[in-house]
Amino acid sequence: MEGFKKSLLACIWFMFLTFPLVVIRVDTAEKTVQWRWMHMLWVGLGAFLLSYVWRFMLKRKAMGRSATNPDGTPVVPFLQRLSANPPLARSIMAVIAIGALVFPWLFSTYQTNIMISAMIYIVLGLGLNIVVGLSGQLVLGYAAFYAAGAYSYALLNHHFGLGFWTALPLGAGAAALCGIILGIPVLRLRGDYLAIVTLGFGEIVRLVLENWNEFSMGPSGVSGISRPGLFSVELSVDGATTYIYYLMIGLVALTIFVINRLKNSRIGRAWLALREDEIACVAMGVDRMKTKLTAFALGATWAGMAGVVFAAKTTFINPASFTFMESAMILAIVVLGGMGSILGVSLAALLILLLPEYLRAFSEYRMLLFGATMVLFMVFRPQGLVSSERQRYEFKETKESQG
Amino acid sequence: MEYFLELFFGGLTRGSIYALIALGYTMVYGIIELINFAHGEIYMIGAFTGLIVAGVLTAMGFPALAILAVALVVAVVYCSAYGYTMEKIAYKPLRGANRLSPLISAIGMSIFLQNYVLLAQTPNFLPFPNLIGEFEFMEDYAHILGSANLVIILVTAAAMVALTLFIKYTRMGRAMRATAQNRKMAMLLGVNVDAVISLTFIIGSSLAAIGGVLIACHTGQINITIGFIAGIKAFTAAVLGGVGSIPGAMLGALVLGFTESFATGYISSDYEDVFAFGLLVLILIFRPSGLLGKAPTQKV
């Protein structure tokens, strides 16, 4: 009964709250007013039901994460069971790998293109994951590095006719340079201030690209960027798409491999230490400047590479592709996937890119749901879809250690 | 000289609007150390609520100034309600979590509110009726200072004075200052911290609502994205003055308003936003505590 009352209150409150925006629509030019009372009914109904869910989730959160089976044994997460069973994990990996390899032969070019986009976002997510997830520096201007890569290839190709493979390292280098240029002045900043400065940086880069017509051709962007050719053989559109697809698979695999290795390296641990407690980390003798700058530069490098591939894939870029919303979306991928978790970020990128493609009805509400999901994840599951596992040393008890 | 005066008053108007929004940032930051990213969206919702009220009342045939008064009141009520609800949903459950979580939650809230208005209303630019009109006694000066600018400057000044008096002399104002200094201690001394935080969001949102309606009258059109840019600039103003300091936010907003006005007037208008962001980056790098802020001490 108590719950019913609360839900009723929530229902009335949200009907009041959304009343002017959802119900009334005015046309100031025609001086007409349109009343949409049905919408109010939906809002009320939704608020009533969702408030039950909200309270249930809050209660569950308050009880702690002591999820147990009916018989009292703790529930082992699926992934943990998986990693405890290497043969099964390996066979699942093999199935995914084979599926990914034959994908362009089974599906249309259109589908392949969507998969390429999804993989670009995997690389972007994993790159941002280095900066945000591993080293804990909240960067909100990540799209600027992505733009640096894309524009490097586009402009070098347009002015000097440079090919894809020459531009790939150059684009990555340009983005890394941007990362260092941004990284040096903001070394002293942390948390919120850092977030805002990087946001400002991202916006400045976009605004400069938009306004500096002689350099970047302004808001109309660069078009006619050439697709990558295979050993100087010109490929058809379909062929080039398939080619880029395999290239992206290679890039994703490389990214995952490198980040996996980095994570447990000396620098990776320095990042984790920096994320957990900056003062303690510096006190332990970690070079803060070097650690932060490598995080910025490496994170930016992946964005640069993704940018080059993006430019090659679409053959046309303009500043509108690199807005704050882009940065926010990549951040959403990292947050939803689970900061620091490679598998989680990849899954989140696939989900976020593919769901709206295949659920057309849902695509209108995509950004709305993004926002809501970001809030809900922070409230109920701050560790993301897949929480990243910290490396632990396990001491196996042997007779010698006991004796 | 006239051009200079025009730019001066233009800067003062901008500064006033930034100040109205910046106060919301700075007050929230002072109390819970959170950059309320969604604050700009509250301002946008204020402008849209004002537009809807204006549309309905115009259809009924009310006079312009009466409409402005009603629009301001309704926008303030609704924005306060939005601010209050937002705090309860997105920030309150996160108290005590690490620093990144509320910030990301705030970004999520901002995206959510923007798209909520997009779906409920329209993604297009909407014309906003000029509710302020032209005053007769201002005719001689209209080329330097429009009537809308005058109203904006006066209303802002009144709001600032009222807020300062509230913070200084009322019981609740004292509770707010206490909470900003040390939340735990305030709680121990019997301050209802939850109520203080809610009130902070309500006051900040009301000021943003006033700003939203007034600037919409001034610029004559609104769109769902106005909140983002205005929010960032107001945040710049807050940081410029020293985030957490109320007089600092006012000062910072004026400095930013003048910088933008003179830079676009004398240098180039293409890079209007670049000046603001550039100023923000420079301030944060060279004086992160702002003009009037205290240098933060690091506790281990």
Evaluate whether residue A233 is within a structural domain. yes
Residues A132 and A223 in one domain: yes
Residues A307 and A363 in one domain: yes
User: Shortest Cα distance from A88 to chain B (angstroms)?
Assistant: 35
Residues in A 263-282 with any Cβ partner in B closer than 8 A: 279-280
- CB contact (8 A) between residue B104 and residue A331: yes
How high is the pLDDT of residue A158? 85
Which string of DSSP letters, residue by residue, matches B50-71? HHHHHHHHHHHT--HHHHHHHH
Residues A58 and A96 in one domain: no
- CB contact (8 A) between residue B281 and residue A32: no
- CB contact (8 A) between residue A20 and residue B53: yes
How high is the pLDDT of residue B135? 72
Query: Of B140, B120, B152, nearest to B16 (Cα)?
Result: B152
- Which of A27-31, A180-184, A387-391 holds the top average pLDDT? A180-184
Residues A12 and A109 in one domain: no
Name the residue facing B112 among A18, A325, A375 (closest C-beta): A375
- Give the residues across from A34 on adjacent strands: A25
Query: What ipTM was estimated for this complex?
Result: 0.84
Q: Which domain holds residue A28?
A: 2-62
pLDDT per residue as tens digits for the range B1-59: 778 888 888 888 888 988 999 988 888 888 888 888 889 999 999 999 998 888 888 88
Could you give the 3-state DSSP secondary structure of residue B142?
coil
- CB contact (8 A) between residue A21 and residue B35: no
Residues A90 and A55 in one domain: no
Residues A155 and A196 in one domain: yes
Best of A379, A380, A383, A387 to mutate (most B CBs within 10 Å, chain B): A379
Evaluate whether residue A391 is within a structural domain. no
How high is the pLDDT of residue B272? 74
User: Shortest Cα distance from B140 to chain A (angstroms)?
Assistant: 30
Q: Which residue of chain A has the CA closest to B129?
A: A28
Task: Check pLDDT > 70 for residue A65.
Answer: no
User: Shortest Cα distance from A261 to chain B (angstroms)?
Assistant: 26
Evaluate whether residue A395 is within a structural domain. no
Residues A310 and A206 in one domain: yes
Evaluate whether residue A68 is within a structural domain. no
Is residue A135 within 8 Å of residue A274, measured between CB atoms? yes
Separation between Cα atoms, residue A335 and residue A348, nearest integer Å = 9
Task: Check pLDDT > 90 for residue A113.
Answer: no
Q: In chain B, which residues have pLDDT < 70?
A: 136, 138-143, 293-300
Q: Is B285 an 8 Å CB contact of chain A?
A: yes
Burial of A235 (0-12, 13-18, 19+ CB in 10 A): middle
Residues A106 and A30 in one domain: no
Query: Of B99, B250, B152, nearest to A195 (Cα)?
Result: B99
How high is the pLDDT of residue A83? 66
pLDDT band at A230 (very low <50, low <70, confident <90, very high): low
Residues A149 and A50 in one domain: no
Separation between Cα atoms, residue A320 and residue B284, nearest integer Å = 27
Which string of DSSP letters, residue by residue, matches A163-202? -HHHHHHHHHHHHHHHHHHHHTGGGG--HHHHHHHHHHHH
- Around Cβ B294, how many Cβ atoms within 10 Å? 11
Task: Check pLDDT > 60 for residue A68.
Answer: no
Residue carrying structure tokens 């591993």: A134
Residues in B 182-201 with any Cβ partner in A closer than 8 A: none
Q: Which residue of chain B has the CA closest to A198?
A: B281
How many contacts (CB atoms, under 8 Å) link A and B? 180
Q: Is B176 an 8 Å CB contact of chain A?
A: no
Amino acid letter, A258? V
| Residue A343 structure tokens | 């598998």
Task: Check pLDDT > 80 for residue A360.
Answer: no
Distances (CA, A) of B160 to A148, B152, B225: 43, 12, 26
- CB contact (8 A) between residue A371 and residue B110: yes
Residue carrying structure tokens 């108590």: A2
How high is the pLDDT of residue B236? 82
Burial of A207 (0-12, 13-18, 19+ CB in 10 A): middle
A119 vs A223, residue with greater confidence: A119
Evaluate whether residue A388 is within a structural domain. no
How high is the pLDDT of residue A316? 87
Residues of A whose CB is below 8 A from B49:
20-21
A197 vs A120, residue with greater confidence: A120
> How many distinct structural domains can be found in chain A?
2
CATH number at residue A325: 1.10.3470
Task: List the alpha helices (DSSP H) in chain B.
Answer: 2-32, 39-60, 64-86, 100-120, 147-169, 171-181, 183-188, 193-219, 226-241, 246-266, 272-286
- Around Cβ A309, how many Cβ atoms within 10 Å? 25
% of chain A surpassing 90 pLDDT: 13
pLDDT per residue as tens digits for the range A377-395: 888 887 777 776 666 666 6
Evaluate whether residue A78 is within a structural domain. no
Residues A226 and A94 in one domain: yes
- CB contact (8 A) between residue A378 and residue B78: no
**Mean of the per-residue pLDDT values of chain A:** 82
How high is the pLDDT of residue B290? 74
Name the residue facing B277 among A186, A191, A200 (closest C-beta): A200
Average pLDDT estimate for A35-54 = 86
Is residue B216 within 8 Å of residue B51, measured between CB atoms? yes
Q: Is B105 an 8 Å CB contact of chain A?
A: yes
Could you give the 3-state DSSP secondary structure of residue B12?
helix
pLDDT band at A403 (very low <50, low <70, confident <90, very high): very low
A36-43, Cβ contacts within 8 angstroms, sequence gap of 24 or more: A39/B120, A40/A15, A43/A14, A43/A15, A43/A18
Could you give the 3-state DSSP secondary structure of residue A64?
coil
Region of residue A72 (left: phi > 0; alpha: psi -120 to 50; beta: else): left
Q: Is B2 an 8 Å CB contact of chain A?
A: no
A403 vs A215, residue with greater confidence: A215
The 3-state secondary structure of B119-131, one letter per residue: HHCCCCCEECCCC
Residues A51 and A172 in one domain: no
Instruction: Of A91-95, A290-294, B37-41, give the lowest mean pLDDT range.
Output: A91-95
Residues A123 and A43 in one domain: no
Number of residues that make up chain B: 300
Please provide residue B53's backbone torsions phi and psi, each rounded to the nearest 5 degrees.
-60, -45
Evaluate whether residue A400 is within a structural domain. no
**What is the dihedral angle through the alpha carbons of A243, A244, A245, A247, rounded to the nearest 10 degrees?**
90
